[in-house]
Structure 1
Amino acid sequence: MMKKLLMLGGAPSQIPAIQTAKRLGYYVITCDYLESNPGHQFSDEYHNVSTVDKEAVLELARSLQINGIVCYAADSGAPTVAYVAEKLGLPSFPYSSVELLSNKDQFRAFLEENHFDVPKAKGYSTFDEAVIDFDTFIMPVMVKPVDSSGSRGVTKIFSINELQDAVTEALSFSRTKRFVIEEFIEKTGYQIGLDCFSVNGQLTFCGFGNNHFGSAVNPFLPIVDSCPTYFSTHIQNKVRNEIQRFIDLFNLRTGPTNFEIQIDRNERVFILDMGVRNCGDFTKLLKYATGVDLIEYTIKAAMGEDCKTLRDIEPKGFWAIYSIFNEENGILQNIQIDSIFKKENVFEYVESVSKFGLPIKANENLGNMVLTFSSMKEMLEKINNIKNLVKVVIKETSYFD
């Protein structure tokens, strides 16, 4: 009899994991509250159950007698995965660890208690609570929902006059209606994005990337990830040591993690954010750069299979993945790609063709490009000029007025 894998979600970004699980020979069941999600057409069975409803997913998992559960490339379902797995005795990270990691204020407090380098931070439920402490923070500060992902609801502010709007924005993206204020870190070099995997509690794979920002709509959301890393082996080893210490403290045995890390001018390592999941697009990029299929290992870990063959492999060549966003409301006319850039650097291009000629809103993802380069210099120069090489052409419309 085929083993059953319950996968939370069927969004476009989760299709690669569904297809990988099928290729590995599992009976794949998907669930979420959007029957129209395209991933469900690739699974063997679909159930309309919200991925954040832990008890409903547990009831579904029991009735289906599943052998494993996973939520690929999405933070929202991570607590559900850990909760259900713990109740049914299936492989996963501890629910208590995942729950703590899913709340930024508790996460920051834990890091500070365990002597990680952290910015001054505190969580609140209301604007009035935050005002009382506001003068104790050094400006500028970041105001963030405690439980959102994708940099949604994040604002950088410089005075108390901006606090009310920032709190309103953060709370609009928080399921638990809480937000955190934290002091801004002046980083050196690029923000580091990492796709990692631990086996039996040991950091076995650590894929380093450079996060590149540049969205006018959301300046805190990376639009390009590139590798190999800009940082020296010395800095990479410092980062690895901190991640291993993190894995030990949270008892993260076998499975994927991703981190966003900044290095300051004193070479201090700040863990800004982390998730108990793969990075999605960056995971795909690392497969091209290293040959390592982290999606396959994630599925195997969820099904209790041996992952000891995984090895840390340095990337070969120079790679990037660009998420194409439009920056204004209107009718999408076309996406113009520089002809030389397209010929020399575009390795793979997936676009949302159905949107052409249709109204779209600012910050919609129009697709992504896997890019390859001949050197670090060429890679960084062209990424810095990416919006001139790939132009989103929008026709203004009163559709959204």
Structure 2
Amino acid sequence: MKELTGKRLLVLGGGLASYDVVKTAKAAGVYTIVADYYESGAAKEIAEEAITVSTVDIEALSKIVKDKKIDGVFCGPSEFNLLNALKLCKHAGLPFYATQEQWDQCSNKAVFKDLCRKYNVPCVPEYHITDKFLEEDLKKIVYPVMVKPVDSSSSRGISVCQNRKELIKAYREALKFSVQKQVIVEKYIANDIAFAARYLAYKGEIYLLLANDRYMVDPIGREALISGVAVYPSKLTKNYIESINENVRKMFKGIGLKDGAFFMQALIDPEDGQIYFHEMGLRLSGGLTYTITGPTTGINDMLMMIRLALGEELCTTEEISKVDPYLNGKVAISLCVPLRTGIIGSIEGVEECLSNLQLLDYIQYYHEGDEITPQKIGTLDQHFCRVKFLVDGYSEAAETINYIQNTITISDTNNKNMIFMKFDTDRLRP
């Protein structure tokens, strides 16, 4: 594998989403330049250069590419900025890991589900509904249903509806979060555990990198339909490999995907135990999987994608041979701490956790004085932090989770507890 030292990478987006891109690129000897409309941000603070320019201004960015002798363009797990990167790379003649057609097939939830049906990959059943709310369509619906935009991310615009009145209201709300002004209404699968599969494409072959189970924050009230804890590998990994994985591999070969990282998200129907996919991301996941696969298998998909952006090969045959969806027998946990609405007045226990635990990764999104607004509840912006660690089994995982939850305390300016809900570790039992 060729050295990246001296290569020049333009990173779109100066915030936390691009922080790990800059950090990983710099560690590999890459000269990083971050562009964003905002003057400051986590990624801008650690880059060699920071430029204030909108990431949608392709003409201005193209001039930067030329003037700064840029070798490649990339960003973090932001679909907005990745689409800008795709356009910029096409305009400037730089490499990008996907075509516009592939991007469109994967980023639109409805189109993705059509693709799944074509290749016999199970996906969540849906209903035909338009904003005219025709009686002939509405009378076919069996409640409850899930309503969501076809092209949003971070759990925005998603609602669970129990009746017609709620459906119509949620549909109109979901339209606000859809650029394409399209909404999906599908069967609501009432299970507090979701499933995700992460892949690498290398020279046209598709490799299952890892699968995980994701436990919802609020399994009873279902007020926060976001991840509380993710467990790697999934308990369903063996079953998935034997029953679904081959069709997924054929599907992505079928759309001509050659190199890159991507993931698929699914629900597990408690009625039949079946995995039903509902959306995907043709990108690295926001969960930063490399922090888990790196220490366990030596696979760093973040670094691989940076290589690809800089015109190098994704990886070597030796590296790809290390892919092991079972993590060499280890169990990895990603714990998120969700918050209630309010202004953060005090934070305690974080330093104690960092000192006493051997963590894979710790990301904190908020600090004292930051406000959690009602609009953030039920989205990924509700999380205070994400903590990752490795264990040998579920009992050790439960002990560590309980220690973290009992140690970290967050209060608002009125000294009231701001932690939305603690994770019940009994849910981890096999």
Describe how 1:2-401 pairs up with structure 2 within 5 A: 2-52=6-56, 57=61, 60-61=64-65, 64-87=68-91, 88=93, 90-121=95-126, 127-129=131-133, 133-185=137-189, 190-215=193-218, 219-264=224-269, 266=272, 268-283=274-289, 284-306=291-313, 307-308=315-316, 309-310=319-320, 311-313=322-324, 314-315=326-327, 316-335=329-348, 343=356, 349-351=362-364, 355-356=367-368, 359-361=371-373, 363=376, 364-379=382-397, 390-396=408-414
Secondary structure of 2:307 counterpart: helix
Q: Indicate conservation of the 8 Å contact 1:192/1:261, yes or no.
A: yes
Distance 2:265 2:402 in 1: 20
Q: Indicate conservation of the 8 Å contact 2:105/2:111, yes or no.
A: yes
Secondary structure of 2:146 counterpart: strand
Secondary structure of 1:136 counterpart: coil
Range 105-114 or range 91-100, more displaced: 105-114
Q: Indicate conservation of the 8 Å contact 1:285/1:319, yes or no.
A: yes
Shift of 1:156: 0.9
Secondary structure of 1:281 counterpart: coil
Shift of 1:244: 0.9
Distance 1:351 1:122 in 2: 39
Q: Indicate conservation of the 8 Å contact 2:341/2:371, yes or no.
A: no
Shift of 1:89: 5.1
Secondary structure of 2:9 counterpart: strand
Shift of 1:347: 6.0
Shift of 1:142: 1.0
Residues 42 and 339 (structure 1), Cα distance of their counterparts in 2 relative to 1, 3 Å cut: closer
Distance 1:341 1:384 in 2: 15
One-letter code aligned to 1:10: G
Residues 282 and 376 (structure 1), Cα distance of their counterparts in 2 relative to 1, 3 Å cut: farther
Range 358-367 or range 218-227, more displaced: 358-367
Distance 1:26 1:382 in 2: 36
TM, length-normalised to structure 2: 0.79
Residues 57 and 130 (structure 1), Cα distance of their counterparts in 2 relative to 1, 3 Å cut: farther
Distance 1:312 1:222 in 2: 25
Residues 143 and 396 (structure 1), Cα distance of their counterparts in 2 relative to 1, 3 Å cut: farther
Distance 1:225 1:282 in 2: 12
One-letter code aligned to 1:236: I
One-letter code aligned to 1:271: F
Distance 1:81 1:339 in 2: 40
Residues 249 and 356 (structure 1), Cα distance of their counterparts in 2 relative to 1, 3 Å cut: same
Q: Indicate conservation of the 8 Å contact 2:155/2:226, yes or no.
A: yes
Secondary structure of 1:209 counterpart: strand
The aligned residue for residue 427 of structure 2 is none
Number of equivalent positions: 395
Range 89-98 or range 210-219, more displaced: 210-219
Shift of 1:206: 1.2
Q: Indicate conservation of the 8 Å contact 2:292/2:360, yes or no.
A: no
Distance 1:80 1:66 in 2: 16
One-letter code aligned to 1:393: S
TM, length-normalised to structure 1: 0.84
Q: Structure 2 stretches of 5 or more lacking a match?
A: 377-381, 416-430
Residues 385 and 214 (structure 1), Cα distance of their counterparts in 2 relative to 1, 3 Å cut: farther
Residues 196 and 10 (structure 1), Cα distance of their counterparts in 2 relative to 1, 3 Å cut: farther
Shift of 1:380: 5.4
One-letter code aligned to 1:370: K
Q: Indicate conservation of the 8 Å contact 2:35/2:54, yes or no.
A: yes
Q: Indicate conservation of the 8 Å contact 1:228/1:318, yes or no.
A: yes
Q: Indicate conservation of the 8 Å contact 2:206/2:253, yes or no.
A: no
Q: Indicate conservation of the 8 Å contact 1:108/1:118, yes or no.
A: yes
Identity rate of aligned residues, in percent? 22
One-letter code aligned to 1:241: E
Range 114-123 or range 75-84, more displaced: 114-123
Shift of 1:340: 9.7
Secondary structure of 2:11 counterpart: strand
